[in-house]
Amino acid sequence: MGRFQDKVVMITGAGRGFGAVLANAFAREGANLVVHYNSSSKGAEETAAAVRALGRKAMTVQGNICSWDDVKHVADEAYREFGRVDVLINNAGDMALSQRSWRELDEKVLDHTLAVDIKGTMLMIHELGMRMMEHEGGSIVNIGSQVVIAGSPRAPQYAAAKYAVIGLTKSYARALAPKVRVNTMGAAFIETEALKSRYDWQHGRREEVLRLTPLGRIAQPEDMVGPTMFLASDESRHMTGAFLLCNGGLAMVGA
């Protein structure tokens, strides 16, 4: 029996990267998966197939999380299939990958980053949180970033958006209590394909981050699975509104 045996876990942006890794990890712990995607349909099907290969149930559902109608559709489909959602992982996000420097600010990129990371996260928390309250409760984990501590001279809007996620976490932790817990996992640089493709990562940023990280390594997606599952599980049952930093010591903060 796994920690999430027969629980229903929804992961946004699970067609690739960290979301796909998380889906497999939850399935190995006994969960059934709602695999959300926006444009990565092939990846979402591959993720769902991997979950089914582990003997668990999986469904895929498409939606733009910046649209409340789409978010309602995603929730409707999940509840139609499984009757409930026990855990929501807000993994989908935008970090302005094409932007090399703060000097290259583009209004369309700015609007998209804020829309996905703030509006999209808020709509998912709001819609799924309300439905969880009407049923047996649940746990929501937002995938945040240590950028809220260090800032981002490359893409300031990304840091601002992730800081907003902390505000959403605290606000909904109070609004949805006591039936639904809401926490944020503050990840370091996770070496996904998306990060590897960034210009700055290919031109010295990786070496700089590695030099400044006390644990002397760049996090792989698997390194962030444990902290995320901890916040989603009953092991963190007395935590809500929290920001759990997992960054290899890259940026250390006081209590």
Q: Is residue 213 domain-resident?
A: no
Q: Tell whether the model's pLDDT for residue 247 goes beyond 70.
A: yes
- Examine residue 112 and state whether it is found in any structural domain, yes or no: yes
Q: What is the pLDDT of residues 128-171, one digit of tens each?
A: 999 999 998 999 999 999 889 988 888 899 999 999 999 999 99
Residue 111 lies in a domain: yes
Residue 114 lies in a domain: yes
pLDDT of residue 153: 85
Please say if 172 is a catalytic residue: no
Task: Answer yes or no: is 120 within a domain.
Answer: yes
pLDDT at 100 over 80: no
Structural contact between residues 91 and 14, judged by C-beta atoms closer than 8 angstroms: yes
Q: Is the pLDDT of residue 4 over 70?
A: yes
Could you tell me if residue 215 is inside a domain?
no
Residue 182 lies in a domain: yes
Name the domain count of the chain: 1
Roughly what angle, to the nearest 10 degrees, separates helices 121-134 and 156-175?
20
User: Structure tokens of 212?
Assistant: 């400044």
Catalytic one of 158, 163, 172, 199? 158
> What domain range includes position 114?
8-190+223-245
The enclosing domain of 73 has a CATH number of: 3.40.50.720
Residue type, 49: A
pLDDT the model gives residue 255:
59
